[in-house]
Amino acid sequence: MFRKLRNQLLVTLLLFVAINFLVIFISQSQAKKRDQITQIENRIHEFELLIYKDAQQINNFFSYETYSPHFFTTQQSTFVENHKLLINQIKQAHKDIFHSKEFQQLNILERSDNTSVQIDSLELIFDTITKLVYLRGFKDWGLEGKMREYAHNLEQNSQVALSDLLMLRRHEKDYIIRNELKYREKFHDKLKVIIDNVEEADNMTASSKAKILENLLNYKEAFNLVVETDSIMGIKNNASLKAQLDTTLNYLLNNIKIISTNCRLSKQKSFKQIRIAAILSFLTYILFSFYLSLKLSRLTTRRISKLSENIAGFIDSGFNILDPVPVKNRNDEVGLLIENFELLKRKIHDQIENLEIKVAERTEEINTQKEQILVQNKKIINSVRYAMNIQEAILPPKNAIQKVFPECFILYRPKDLVSGDFYWFKNIQNAELNISLIAVADSTGHGVPGGFMSMLGIAFLNDFVINKDTHTTAYLLNRLRQKVIENLAQLMHTKRLNDGMDVALVLINHNNKTIQFSGAYRDLVLIRNQQMQLFKGDKLTIGKNSRKEDKCFTVNEFPFYPNDTIYMFTDGFADQFGGPKGYKYLSKNLRSLLLSVSNLPMNKQKTMIESELNQWKGKLEQTDDILVAGFKILD
C-alpha cells in the first residue's frame, strides 16, 4: 500500500522542490536588486542632506556675514569655506551615485545630467554673490564705507548746509534699510539741489567748490554703485541672483525627490515581483497538499477515524478508559501508530494517578505554610499599627496648637501607616518668656524606619525644652544634630551612616514680635500682604553623612506683623509624581499654590491644598510622606 504511495509522493515532492527552487531564484534576484536600490536610496538621502547643509551655510552667510566686520576686513568666512567643502562633497557624491552601474539601470540619467548642471550653477551664483557682497561692503567697508567717507568729508566742510547733508544721509539710510527705489530718487533730487547750491554760491573760492563738487560726485557714484550691486544681487527683495540661487536650490531638492521617488517605485516593483513569486509558491504548495491529502485520506481515513474516536473517548473519560482501538491490521505505519498510542494511554493513566497523589500532598503542605504566613503577617501588621498609635500619641495635639494659633492647619499624610515626617510644637509662657517653637521635619525614609527616626527627633526636642536649653533656633538644630550623631554612632572611626532628618524650625517671640528661623535643608515661606518672602535653610542636615558636620546652622530673625502667615513643608508634596505627563510637582509650584490660597481662611487653605494634591496625584501611588503646615499670626 505505502510502496505505491511512496513513489507518487517522491515524484510530487521533486516537482514541488523544483518549483520552489525557481521561485527562490527569482526572489533572490529581486531581493538583490531591491538591496541595491536601497543602497542607492541611502546614498541619495545622504546627497540630499549635503544639499540641505549647503543651503543652511548659504542662509547663514546672508544672515550673519553680510553684516560681519570680520568678513569685510579679511574677506574670509567660515560659511563660505563650509560651502566650498560641501560643494566638493556634493560633486563627489553626485559622481559616486549617478555614475554607478546600479543607478544607470534605473533609466533616469537625464535627471542626473540636469543635477550636475544645477550644482555647477549653484557654485557659480553663490561665488558671484559673495564677491558682490564684499564689493558692496557694510558700514565702514566697501562701497558703503566709501559713501560714509565722502559724506564725512562733506560734513567737515562748513560751507555746505548741514541740514541738506543730513537729509541726504537720511535718504541714503532709508534706501539701505528699505531697499526701495523711491529713496534713490529722493537721494538724487537732494544731491542735485546741493550741487546747484554749491555752484551758485558766491562765498566760496573756486578750489573749495571744486573740492566739494568732487566729493559730491564721488558720493553719488558710490551710492549708484551700491544701488546697482543691490539690484544685481537681489538679497533684500529676493530677486536677481538671489532668486536664481533659491531657484537652483529648489530645483536640486525637487530633482532629488523625483529620483528618490523613482527609486522607491523600482523597489515597490521588486517587492511586487517577490510577492507574486511567493503567491505562486504558496498556491503550488496548497494544490499539492490538497492532492496528497486526498491520496492519504483514501488509504488511512478509516483506521485514523477509529483511532480518533478512541482518543476522544479516552480524553472524555478523564484519561481513565483503557479500551483498545478496534483495528485488526496493525502491520503498517498506522498500526504502529495505534500500538504506540495504546502504550501512551497506559503511561498517561499511571502518571495521572501518581500526580494526583503528589498534588494532594503538596496542597496540604501549601495550606500549612499559608496559615503560618497569615499568622506572621497579622503579627507584623499589628506591630506596625501599634507603632502608628505610639507615633500619633507623641505628636503634639492639634487643639494645643490652635490655642496659641487659632488660624492654622496641618496637612499630614503618611505614605505608610508609620511616617518619617513629623511636626513638633511647644509654647513656653512664664515671667520671662512667651515663645512658641514649631518644627516640621523629614526623617530618613518612611514607614517604620522613618517612624523611629521621627520619634527620636521629637524626644530630643522635648528634652531640650525640659532642660530649658532653648537659646536660638540655630542652637537647637546644632544640639539636635549632635544628639542624633551621638546616638547613631555616626562618628565611629571612618564609618558614616545615612540616617538623619531635614528640619525647618521656627521660634516665635510673642513679646518682642519677632520670628527666628533656622533650617536644615528646609525653607520657610512668609506671606505678608499677598507678597511672598522665602527664607532658605542651610545646606546642612541633621545627622546624615556630611562633610559639613563642623559647620553651624545660621539664624534668620525678622519682625512679624498681624496677619502674617508662615508655611513650612517637607519634600513629599513637591516630589509627588502626577499631572498629565507624570512629572514631579516641584517646590516652586507648591510656593505658588500657597501664595494663591493665602488670603483664604486656614481651614479652606488646607482643603484647597488637599484638593490640588489629589488632583495632581490622580491614580498614581503616593511617592513619600507629605507634611505641609501653615500658621497665621493674629497679634
Terminal C-alpha separation, the chain: 112
- Which band of pLDDT confidence, cut at 50, 70 and 90, is reported for residue 494? very low
Q: Which strand (E) or helix (H) includes residue 422?
A: strand 421-429
Tens digits of residue pLDDT in 201-238 = 777 788 888 888 888 888 888 888 888 888 888 777 77
CA dist., res. 104 & res. 97, Å (int): 9
Kindly list the distances between the CA atom of residue 81 and the CA atoms of 48, 54, 85, 311, in Å, as whole numbers in the listed order. Answer: 19, 11, 6, 83
For 525-556, what is the HEC assignment? EEEECCEEEEECCECCCECCCCCCCCCCCCCE
Q: What is the DSSP code (8-state) at residue 572?
A: T
State the amino acid at position 60 in one-letter form: N
Kindly list the distances between the CA atom of residue 628 and the CA atoms of 243, 460, 557, 581, 606, in Å, as whole numbers in the listed order. Answer: 65, 22, 22, 24, 9
CA dist., res. 370 & res. 378, Å (int): 12
Q: Tell which CATH classification among 2.40.128, 2.60.40, 1.20.120, 1.10.150 matches the domain 2-135+242-273.
A: 1.20.120
Q: Using an 8 Å Cβ cutoff, are 56 and 328 in contact?
A: no
**How high is the pLDDT of residue 347?**
81
pLDDT at 3 over 60: no
**CATH no. for 395-633:** 3.60.40.10
Domains of the chain, residue spans? 2-135+242-273, 143-231, 317-394, 395-633
For the chain, the average pLDDT equals: 81
Give the residue among 479, 478, 477, 416 at the shortest CA–CA distance from 452.
Answer: 416
For 487-510, what is the HEC assignment? HHCCCCCCCCCCCCEEEEEEEEEC
554-583 burial, b for 16+ CB within 10 Å, e for fewer? bebeeebeeebbbbbbbbbbbebbbeeeee
CA dist., res. 479 & res. 467, Å (int): 12
Model confidence pTM above 0.85: no
CA dist., res. 59 & res. 238, Å (int): 12
Query: Poorest-confidence range of 11-15, 239-243, 433-437, 455-459?
Result: 11-15
Tens digits of residue pLDDT in 550-561 = 789 999 999 999
Tens digits of residue pLDDT in 301-356 = 666 776 677 777 767 776 677 677 776 666 666 666 777 777 787 788 778 778 87
CB atoms within 10 A of CB 334: 20
Q: What sections of 141-239 are H helices per DSSP? A: 142-156, 162-178, 181-200, 206-233
Tens digits of residue pLDDT in 527-576 = 999 999 999 999 998 876 555 567 899 999 999 999 999 999 999 999 99
pLDDT at 604 over 90: yes
CA dist., res. 407 & res. 559, Å (int): 19
CA dist., res. 97 & res. 109, Å (int): 11
Specify the pairing of strand 556-559 against strand 583-584.
unpaired
Grid coordinates 553680510 are at which residue? 66
Q: Using an 8 Å Cβ cutoff, are 627 and 421 in contact?
A: yes
State the Cα angle at 450 between 446 and 454, rounded to 5°.
Answer: 130
Give the residue among 36, 14, 22 at the shortest CA–CA distance from 277.
Answer: 22
State the Cα angle at 461 between 458 and 463, rounded to 5°.
Answer: 110
State the amino acid at position 482 in one-letter form: Q
Tens digits of residue pLDDT in 77-126 = 898 899 889 888 888 888 887 777 767 666 555 555 678 888 888 888 88
4: cell is 505505491
Q: Using an 8 Å Cβ cutoff, are 553 and 540 in contact?
A: yes
- Three-state secondary-structure class, residue 201: coil
Tens digits of residue pLDDT in 368-399 = 888 878 777 676 666 666 666 676 768 899 89
